[in-house]
């Protein structure tokens, strides 16, 4: 059967099987930022997408259920390879480790900041409640959202300064972005 969906702002048509998961459809279409972390149980949220602006697990949706709707994946945050304020905030706050759930967290942050420009900690906790992050620190997630909120209001907003040490080394003890951070936040 055929479905029509607006994917990251672009109208698309797909030929799908009635029982095909949206996660599988998107990965078939080379949108690989939509991950498989729980084999379709719906417990990890790594396959999150925005469906009409709300975060949902794409593994729990069948392709016919998104017919006529708008979906967004993390690819829409950096369409011209230039990172968005939310993506740079995640790198600067040190929330990007393995990067597996990072696209889901970024989309949840985007949806959260669209609802609340300055969210409370409870609102942050609720926004991330469906996403299971296995490796990143938890406190840093609050810092990342706060930094993203400030940076959306002021694109030049810099992360808090931290003391540097070991002048004899170029990278150790210096404020450097994680080397593969930009690649990971692009999904």
Instruction: By CB under 8 A, name the binding residues for another protein.
Output: 1, 17-19, 21, 39-43, 45, 48, 51, 54-57, 59-62, 64-65, 108, 126-127, 129-132
Q: How far is the CB of 113 from another protein (least distance, A)?
A: 14
Cβ proximity to another protein, 42 vs 182, nearer residue: 42
Cβ proximity to another protein, 142 vs 182, nearer residue: 142
Cβ proximity to another protein, 65 vs 140, nearer residue: 65
Q: Per DSSP, which regions of the chain are E strands? A: 2-7, 10-15, 48-51, 54-57, 70-72
* 1, 62 Cβ separation under 8 angstroms: no
Alpha helices by DSSP H, 131-187:
139-153, 181-185
Q: How far is the CB of 91 from another protein (least distance, A)?
A: 24
- Both tokens of residue 152? 């959306």
Q: How far is the CB of 44 from another protein (least distance, A)?
A: 9
Q: How far is the CB of 158 from another protein (least distance, A)?
A: 30
Cβ proximity to another protein, 1 vs 32, nearer residue: 1
Q: How far is the CB of 144 from another protein (least distance, A)?
A: 17
25: Cα within 13 Å, side-chain hemisphere: 30
- Both tokens of residue 95? 């929330």
Cβ proximity to another protein, 45 vs 187, nearer residue: 45
Sequence-distant (6+) residues with CB within 8 A of 67 are: 3, 4, 5
- Residue 13 CB burial class (10 angstroms; 0-12, 13-18, ≥19): exposed
């Amino acid at each position: 059967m055929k479905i029509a969906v607006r994917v990251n702002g672009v109208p698309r048509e797909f030929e799908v099987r009635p029982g095909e998961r949206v996660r599988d459809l998107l990965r078939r279409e080379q949108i690989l930022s939509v991950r498989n972390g729980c084999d379709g149980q719906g417990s990890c949220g790594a396959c999150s997408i925005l469906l009409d602006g709300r975060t949902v697990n794409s593994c729990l949706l069948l392709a016919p259920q998104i017919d006529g709707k708008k979906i967004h994946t993390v690819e829409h945050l950096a369409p011209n390879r230039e990172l968005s304020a939310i993506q740079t905030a995640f790198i600067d706050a040190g929330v990007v480790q393995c990067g597996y759930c990072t696209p889901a967290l970024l989309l949840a942050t985007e949806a959260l900041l669209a609802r609340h420009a300055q969210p409370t900690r409870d609102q942050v906790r609720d926004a991330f409640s469906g996403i299971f992050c296995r490796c990143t620190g938890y406190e840093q997630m609050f810092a990342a959202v706060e930094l993203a909120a400030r940076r959306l209001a002021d694109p030049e907003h810099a992360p808090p300064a931290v003391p540097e040490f070991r002048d004899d080394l170029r990278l150790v003890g210096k404020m450097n972005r994680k080397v593969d951070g930009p690649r990971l936040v692009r999904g």
